[in-house]
Amino acid sequence: MLITDYGLPKPVSMNRITILAFGLLLSRELKQYDDERIGIALPPGIAGAIGNLGVIFAGKIPVNLNLTAGKKSINSSMKEANIQKMISVQKVKDKFPDFPWTTEVKDLSEFIKKYKTRKFFLICLILRILCFPNATQKNFSINKISNDRKEAVLLFTSGSSSQPKGVILSDQNILSNCKQMFALGLFKNEMTILGNLPLFHSFGLTVGTFFPLLHNLSIAAAPSPLDYKSSLRAIRESDTEVVLGTPTFLKGYVRKAGKGDFNNVKYVVAGAEKTPPDLKELFENKYNCEFLEGYGLTETSPGLSFNLPGFGKKEGSVGRLMEGVKGKTIDPDSGKTLERTSSGILCFRGPNVFKGYLNNREKTKEVFSDDGWFITGDLGRIDEDGFLFIEGRLSRFSKIGGEMVSHESVEEAVTKVLEEDVNSSNQVLCAVIGVSHDLKGEGLVLVLAKKLDPKWLSNQLREIGLSNISIPRKIVFVEEIPLLSTGKLDLQKIKSLVSPN
């Protein structure tokens, strides 16, 4: 197994033993830190793998950070996780100069260069790992996996609803989900997968990095799913057999793909958002790839269900539940368990389901029933054959490019920008509605009871820290915002004012 990184002008390859060696050497340096958690700002690929392994081997907790999130979310995440030290590379720091970098940032590229010049030392270490694994483990003070370690990695949700939530995933969560995916029988040893999903996303960290490392798959890495040139080059030149991605990113590959780019691809594995039927048909009919959808959440490490080729999939479903995962639905109002095939709020149990949010007992209590079921907030059903169908979202959220965006948080931001107008009129001036979007799955429409320049508003929202995906791309101007007699938004009337775009 090896990682071939296409993020550089000339692809660089590294086998799994060498990656392990670099991870061990990095862990020795990181053990000098007193910090419990280490922030990571690295792209997927060789650097991302070494960085995460080094932190884990050091007995510390990696926190892969989203550098493109709004300032408010980033600062909140770093404060919540108490991030004082980070690992990155100068190229990333140069690209994101406004990111709140900590005073101490370890440059991983310099670290790798240092040991690459010591080739004899590196070869001796690799031989030691191969011939004396137990002695090497003891020499580097690597602790064995323990069920007592409740926090192995920390991931943050998008932070759309006022502030991001820290999702604590244990060793058992990650290892169980990797085992569940391998038990599907779809992924074979030495199969090559595309690894370009960001590491702050559980899809990219677990499925795109830890899973292939643990189960001897090769990774064709690119720095970002939005870097279509590098991603398509990785697919083409490495003979990638499995392409991982969200429908939003997959559409980009199709638009930019040249003749023969998908010749060796057998499976397209999609998740994080609903797939448009025409995208699935395109891959299966034009490129002769099996298009397989799955379903998961950051809180479930992430995989919960998966479609398989042939009779293992059903039209419109996101597959059967993975090994060891149990599911049920509950009534949105009463919370009572419904009949197996009835639609309701989806709830799950399994070894890959997290135990709670960082420093947030109240929110943790909200998403778990008294008997331990994780309540997702998604609406769906499980049919008589065990296939899972996602039917909508209970709360006012939109999933844009795989990220959950709260309508209420956007309304609060707009209200903050228009604070003087709100105070003077004492009226509700805005409402946000989610509509279908061809490229991003969903889009936001702002219904506004005030005439203003849309570009000015967008700039103001960015200034106060709202992320780009949370900024509505369309504004509908109205005389007044429809309200119920209780003073709450009349969402049915508001929706009637908005035409999908």
Q: 252: closest CA among 274, 225, 273?
A: 225
pLDDT at 495: 84
- Mean pLDDT, the chain, as a whole number? 88
Could you tell me which residues come within 8 angstroms of residue 157 by beta carbon, excluding any fewer than 6 positions away? 164, 165, 167, 298, 404
% of the chain with per-residue pLDDT over 70: 92
User: Looking at the predicted structure, is the pLDDT value of residue 422 above 60?
Assistant: no
Q: 409 and 263, same structural domain? A: no
Q: 266 and 168, same structural domain? A: yes
pLDDT at 25: 96
CATH assignment of the domain containing 425: 3.30.300.30
Is 393 part of a structural domain of the chain? no
Least confident of 147-161, 237-251, 460-474: 147-161
Q: 331: closest CA among 371, 372, 381?
A: 381
Q: Is 37 within 8 Å of 81 (Cβ atoms)?
A: yes
Quick one: average pLDDT of 468-497?
79
DSSP-assigned states of every residue in 358-419: TT-HHHHHHHB-TTS-EEEEEEEEE-TTSBEEEEEESSSEEEETTEEEEHHHHHHHHHHHTH
Q: 411 and 323, same structural domain? A: no
Rg (CA), the chain: 23
CATH assignment of the domain containing 299: 3.40.50.12780
Task: Please give the Cα distance from 58 to 405 (Å, whole number).
Answer: 35
- Reported as a single tens digit per residue, the pLDDT across 5-33 is 998 878 999 999 999 999 999 999 999 99
Q: 67 and 28, same structural domain? A: yes
Distance of CA 30 to the CA centre of its chain: 26
- Reported as a single tens digit per residue, the pLDDT across 215-265 is 999 999 999 988 999 999 999 999 999 999 888 788 888 888 888 889 999
Is 389 part of a structural domain of the chain? no
pLDDT at 486: 43
Q: 345 and 205, same structural domain? A: yes
pLDDT at 158: 63
Task: Please give the Cα distance from 348 to 374 (Å, whole number).
Answer: 5
**Interior/surface letters 148-174, b for 16+ CB within 10 angstroms, e for the rest:** eeebbbbbbbbbbbebbbbbbbbbbbb
Quick one: average pLDDT of 447-465?
90
Q: 298 and 338, same structural domain? A: yes
Is 501 part of a structural domain of the chain? no
Is 117 part of a structural domain of the chain? yes
Task: Please give the Cα distance from 499 to 447 (Å, whole number).
Answer: 11
User: Looking at the predicted structure, is the pLDDT value of residue 437 above 80?
Assistant: no
Q: Is 298 within 8 Å of 202 (Cβ atoms)?
A: yes
Structural domain of 478: 398-496
Domain boundary among 326, 346, 380: 380
Q: Is 207 within 8 Å of 302 (Cβ atoms)?
A: yes
Q: 174 and 298, same structural domain? A: yes
Q: 364 and 283, same structural domain? A: yes
Domain boundary among 354, 380, 406: 380
Residue scoring higher pLDDT (451 or 393): 451
User: Looking at the predicted structure, is the pLDDT value of residue 423 above 60?
Assistant: no
253: left (phi over 0), alpha (psi -120 to 50) or beta: alpha
User: Looking at the predicted structure, is the pLDDT value of residue 401 above 80?
Assistant: no
Q: 433 and 363, same structural domain? A: no
Q: 23 and 103, same structural domain? A: yes
Is 235 part of a structural domain of the chain? yes
Q: How many CB atoms lie within 10 A of CB 279?
A: 18
Q: 415: closest CA among 449, 442, 445?
A: 449
Model confidence at 485, pLDDT cuts 50, 70, 90, reads very low
Q: Is 198 within 8 Å of 403 (Cβ atoms)?
A: no
Domain boundary among 380, 411, 440: 380
Number of domains in the chain: 2
DSSP state of 38: E
Q: 342 and 464, same structural domain? A: no
